[in-house]
Amino acid sequence: MELKATSLGKRLAQHPYDRAAILNAGIKVAGDRHEYLIPFNQLLAIECKRGLVWGEMEFQLADKKVVRLHGTEWSETQRFYHLLNDRWNRWSAEMSEVAAGVLSEQLELIAARTEETKWLTKDRLQGLQQQLQQAFIALPIPTSRLSEFENCRELWQQCQSWLTDIEGRRAQHNQRYTEIMLEQYATFFAQVETSPLNPAQARAVVNGERSLLVLAGAGSGKTSVLVARAGWLLARGEATADQILLLAFGRKAAQEMDERISQRLHTEEMTARTFHALALHIIAQGSKKVPALSELENDTSARLALLTDAWRQQCSEKKAQAKGWRQWLEEEMAWDVPEGNFWEDAGLQRRIGPRLDRWIGLMRMHGGAQAEMIADAPEEVRALFSKRIKLMAPLLKAWKAKLKEENAVDFSGLIHQAVNVLEKGRFISPWKHILVDEFQDISPQRAALLAALRKQNSQTTLFAVGDDWQAIYRFSGAQLSLTTAFQDYFGEGDVCALDTTYRFNSRIGDVANRFIQQNPQQLAKPLNSLNAGDKNAVTLLAQDQLEALLDKLSGYAKPEERILVLARYHHGRPAVLEKAATRWPKLQLDFMTVHASKGQQADYVIIVGLKEGLDGFPAPARESVMEQALLPQEEAFPDAEERRLLYVALTRARHRVWLLFDKQEPSRFVETLKLLNVPVARKP
């Protein structure tokens, strides 16, 4: 059927189109000079309107485009409209069945990717939106019309939600999955540790992201979570014992984890390793030869003797080198260097030995050639660092010669060799799951080892447990940004937090948490305490009140209650402790540095030495250009690491903390603590 404008209507309308014809599955609108074909699959709506004299047809298309036909006789317009609308509706109903089939097929494909009993990772959804968009392009009717059809409406809404809010849908799925797992394994979570896991701990255990950082604040049960994660993987059948790699930073921590696994999981098949033990295993398997670890690593005096002898020889044989060393020690280190053959001075040798040992350690940790080290140094220190590296070169050469003589490797060499073995494919990782303790202490070198392991199998999960608030080992190469910018380094994943501490009361927690979070670069997280604690749970006290405090503690502290005295340095040990065994024989008193106290806990903690100056707390920066060039870059926030160190000290205590300050030169931390409403007591 065709609809035409009347002669008068055509003249008065002055419109490019004056007739329309119904096609098999579309409409043709034409005029003397123009013709427009509108397939039904592009048509959104048809309207029939009556003007003062004539009829009007309006065809709505995508992008708000409208094609109109004017000046037609009204009764003819009505007849044409009903015929066209009937044919378009019949075609639409038929096509809606096809569209419903396409949408159903897409939802089935999504369902296959999103099994209820599997965690939904971002990579499992990769390409999903593109797949949906391609399917929508192939639909026989415009997507804007799909909600008109009962057989398409709900299917379309479901597909749309995956297209427009894929992260929301993924979160919903993973929330359902988590609830199912917590219910299904409720008995496991209640019994895997001596106390049932709390909800935050259990949720961390079942989180299935490929890269997961679990922020475990002080006393929040990180070891429980690591042990439970390993046990849950076994219970679920997601891995066998030999497919789980547990990593700790020290031998003692690895042994403690082994004991917990043996006690709680009742298996000897899974053991925790240090990074160095892991590297040794990889090299041995990849080269069929077990490398010997240099005796230098466990013999400090031998290391110092080797490096000091090489330094003396260098200075005595080359005047230019001796001049360079004198300049370094006097100008940069501000040391008093004797006149003449200063390298023969016994006092200077004792003083420089530990420095040489540290600097060689940093160079070995970097692992690159001199040119690489210089290129990697910050631009502002690069020129000076280049001079220092040239002075250190003979010492590094002596170190390498000693290793060759022993036919051995050092700790840094172990990691570098292991990465090399992995990159060359001489060892294929058997581990599907890597669990790392104290992740905030990771260095770029160790991170490279993890990356090399995961590169061999993109499905390997990394379950990292740590606390950026307790990152206090930059001096040994730890790079905090590997934790605070976790996903930038280890791929898209998730960060979750353990929200309950079982160690200290809420007063200690409130002071410590507010103190550490004054640095905006620290990751924000909740850390709630089970016990309230009173306002005096954290107290500032003058340093000269230590004896009086210990006298008072001797009156009410129980023999089994531990008292920990902490200082910034070993030489900060108070002299009064020398007579503690006889003066306060019933007190269980221990002294250690704050660094050494990491992982410890006590009923009462006394922090001494809060003063300004060279031996103060916070400690002044004393880095040479070697540290500035070879260690991870310092943070911009003032005293960032020293602040974390005080946080560690505060959070060792269960019941009370006393912070003892120098009245003449109080630490700047004292004023900060006062602003946090920490009371100052005149006496204990």
| Pair (622, 651) in one structural domain | yes
Q: Is the pLDDT of residue 545 over 80?
A: yes
Mean pLDDT, to the nearest integer, of 20-29?
Answer: 93
Element (H, E) at 28: strand 26-30
CATH of the domain at 101: 2.30.29.30
* Tokens read off for 198: 């709390």
If you average pLDDT over every residue of the chain, what do you get? 93
Distances (CA, A) of 382 to 140, 375, 563: 65, 8, 47
- The dihedrals phi and psi of 434, each to the nearest 5 degrees, come to -115, 120
* Tokens read off for 207: 């989180």
- CA dist 598 and 418 (Å) reads 29
CA atoms within 13 A on the CB side of 623: 17
Element (H, E) at 589: strand 588-593
**For position 13, what pLDDT does the model report?**
63
Mean pLDDT, to the nearest integer, of 608-612?
Answer: 97
| Pair (210, 169) in one structural domain | no
Mean pLDDT, to the nearest integer, of 468-494?
Answer: 94
- CA dist 337 and 359 (Å) reads 20
- CA dist 274 and 281 (Å) reads 11
| Pair (377, 391) in one structural domain | yes
Among the three residues 184, 206, 227, which one is the final residue of a domain in this structure? 184
User: Which runs of E-coded beta strand occur in 267-366?
Assistant: 272-274, 292-293
Element (H, E) at 595: helix 594-597
- The dihedrals phi and psi of 160, each to the nearest 5 degrees, come to -60, -40
| Pair (651, 615) in one structural domain | yes
Q: 500-501 and 494-498 as β-strands: parallel, antiparallel, unpaired?
A: unpaired
The three-class DSSP label of residue 165 is coil
Nearest partner of 84 among 39, 27, 4, judged by Cα: 27
Examine residue 508 and state whether it is found in any structural domain, yes or no: no
Q: Say what the pTM is.
A: 0.86
Examine residue 515 and state whether it is found in any structural domain, yes or no: no
Q: Is the pLDDT of residue 51 over 80?
A: no
Give the number of other CB atoms < 10 A from CB of residue 470: 21
| Pair (141, 206) in one structural domain | no
Q: Is the pLDDT of residue 645 over 90?
A: yes
**Percent of the chain, pLDDT > 70?**
100
- CA dist 121 and 208 (Å) reads 7
- CA dist 194 and 180 (Å) reads 23
* Tokens read off for 296: 């230098």
Q: Which residues of 436-467 are buried (b: 16+ CB within 10 A; e: fewer)?
A: bbbbbbbbbbbebbbbbbbeeeeebbbbbbbb
| Pair (32, 176) in one structural domain | yes
Task: Determine if residue 661 is left, alpha or beta; phi over 0 gives left, psi from -120 to 50 gives alpha, anything else beta.
Answer: beta
Q: What is the pLDDT of residues 408-417, one digit of tens each?
A: 999 999 999 9
- CA dist 27 and 47 (Å) reads 14
Examine residue 517 and state whether it is found in any structural domain, yes or no: no
Mean pLDDT, to the nearest integer, of 99-111?
Answer: 94
Q: 489, exposed or middle or buried, with CB in 10 Å at 0-12, 13-18, 19+?
A: middle
- CA dist 495 and 464 (Å) reads 10
Mean pLDDT, to the nearest integer, of 120-148?
Answer: 90
Examine residue 606 and state whether it is found in any structural domain, yes or no: yes
Among the three residues 406, 428, 455, which one is the final residue of a domain in this structure? 406
| Pair (48, 87) in one structural domain | yes
**For position 113, what pLDDT does the model report?**
84
Mean pLDDT, to the nearest integer, of 593-615?
Answer: 95
CATH of the domain at 478: 3.40.50.300
8 A C-beta contact, residue 254 and residue 274? yes
Element (H, E) at 276: helix 275-287
Residue type, 676: L
8 A C-beta contact, residue 643 and residue 519? yes
DSSP state of 611: B
**For position 62, what pLDDT does the model report?**
87
**For position 569, what pLDDT does the model report?**
95
Higher pLDDT, 166 or 642: 642
Examine residue 516 and state whether it is found in any structural domain, yes or no: no
Higher pLDDT, 115 or 601: 601
Q: What is the pLDDT of residues 187-219, one digit of tens each?
A: 999 999 999 999 999 999 999 999 999 999 999
| Pair (311, 392) in one structural domain | yes
425 Cβ contact list (under 8 Å, min separation 6): 456
If one counts the domains in the chain, the total is 4
The full length of the chain comes to 684
Nearest partner of 634 among 475, 440, 517, 486, judged by Cα: 475
8 A C-beta contact, residue 586 and residue 638? no
| Pair (628, 551) in one structural domain | yes
Mean pLDDT, to the nearest integer, of 327-348?
Answer: 93
Residue type, 338: P
* Tokens read off for 630: 């070879």
Q: Is the pLDDT of residue 508 over 90?
A: yes
* Tokens read off for 160: 């749309």
8 A C-beta contact, residue 417 and residue 291? yes
Give the sign of the dihedral formed by CA 270, CA 276, CA 278, CA 283.
Answer: negative
Q: Is the pLDDT of residue 288 over 80?
A: no
Examine residue 568 and state whether it is found in any structural domain, yes or no: yes
Among the three residues 184, 218, 250, which one is the final residue of a domain in this structure? 184
**Residues facing 56 on adjacent strands:** 49, 70
174 Cβ contact list (under 8 Å, min separation 6): 119, 120, 207, 208
DSSP state of 533: -
pLDDT-derived band of residue 128, with 50, 70 and 90 as boundaries? Answer: confident
| Pair (470, 535) in one structural domain | no
pLDDT-derived band of residue 17, with 50, 70 and 90 as boundaries? Answer: confident
Examine residue 616 and state whether it is found in any structural domain, yes or no: yes
Mean pLDDT, to the nearest integer, of 625-644?
Answer: 93
Mean pLDDT, to the nearest integer, of 361-381?
Answer: 92
Examine residue 513 and state whether it is found in any structural domain, yes or no: no
Domain that includes residue 614, residue range: 523-681
Mean pLDDT, to the nearest integer, of 529-535?
Answer: 88
| Pair (602, 480) in one structural domain | no
| Pair (424, 401) in one structural domain | no
